[in-house]
Amino acid sequence: MIEARDLTKHYGTVAALQNATFRVNRGEVVGFLGPNGAGKTTTMKILTCFIAPSGGTARVAGADIFEDPIAVRRAIGYLPENTPLYTEMLVLEYLEFAGKMRGLRGSELQAGLRKVVEETSLGDVVGKSIGELSKGFRQRVGLAQALIHEPPVLILDEPMSGLDPNQAAEIRELIREIGRERTVILSTHNLAEVQVTCSRVLIISEGRLVADDTPDDLAARAGKPRFVVTLRKDDHSAADVRAVFSSVGNAQTVTEVAASSAGELIVEVVPKGNDDLRADIFRAAVSADLVLLGLEQRGENLEDIFRQLTTKAGA
């Protein structure tokens, strides 16, 4: 668990971090977002005891950053954005080296190696040099070195950076899996990855925490989604079409939108809540013998909310 209370950091007259208070529980994967210079790096450096705050304090896995910084460091596994891998070393050699740097020896080291190799699915490449590995497998090696000493807390900095979609999906699933029994903070600029990987999001701007919520609840702040339906006009009137889609289960309003083509009729359907009505709209169109030319969901996503919150904070 991580618990930060009123963390503040000043560099001269500049406030890099101002009264940041948050908590990350065991079993949570929390995304930590913010523009460049917002205070993310300062926060991470404080939590890892690399720098001391000007005010406030934090506890990591029960250890206070002031009273027991060594225990804090031992409790954290860290994956930097550019993991310092030694490409000429074999995977197993590198992990042995990482374990010894963490103070593991003998049977404890061997047990740790077996566990992280299994946990990160590195069994087929342990005898290969790191230089031979794909970017995806190198990230797995980076995660393995962060896990070698069985830390209860993981801090991951841009773990999906530079990965192709398949590699990113594999690392995302691995993070979710290892996060079930640990406390994980994922610092990233990739908002789409946060939406599918993280259970909660912290957004920081100009040193202040401006959001602490689930991705879904943050998106809900933007208002309801809108479904834009493009139909072939044929002999259908706008009133007839509105009547068809008004009967869709959770539709609240159906309004006509100006079409760019004379042969098209466009309506916008807004639900009562935040439901995805696309399947219902499709079925209603088919049942009414309407020719569907397009169906698009519009609305603000996490990226839009991020811009709103960070722009407001800087306004």
Q: Is the pLDDT assigned to residue 3 strictly greater than 90?
A: yes
Average pLDDT over residues 280-296: 94
Average pLDDT over residues 113-140: 95
Reported as a single tens digit per residue, the pLDDT across 68-95 is 999 999 999 999 888 889 999 999 999 9
What domains, with CATH codes, occur in the chain? Answer: 2-220 (3.40.50.300), 226-299 (3.30.70.260)
Nearest to 7 by CA among 64, 75, 76: 64
Look up tokens 């908002």; give the residue: 191
Q: Is the pLDDT assigned to residue 227 strictly greater than 60?
A: yes
Q: Is the pLDDT assigned to residue 140 strictly greater than 80?
A: yes
pLDDT of residue 204: 95
Q: Is the pLDDT assigned to residue 42 strictly greater than 60?
A: yes
Reported as a single tens digit per residue, the pLDDT across 95-119 is 999 999 999 999 999 999 999 999 9
Distant-in-sequence contacts of 131-135, Cβ < 8 A, 24+ apart: 131/87, 131/88, 133/91, 134/167, 135/162, 135/163, 135/164, 135/167
Q: Is the pLDDT assigned to residue 188 strictly greater than 90?
A: no
**Which H or E element spans position 168?**
helix 165-178
Average pLDDT over residues 122-145: 95
Q: How many CA atoms lie within 13 A of 211 on its CB side?
A: 28
More confident residue, 272 or 313: 272
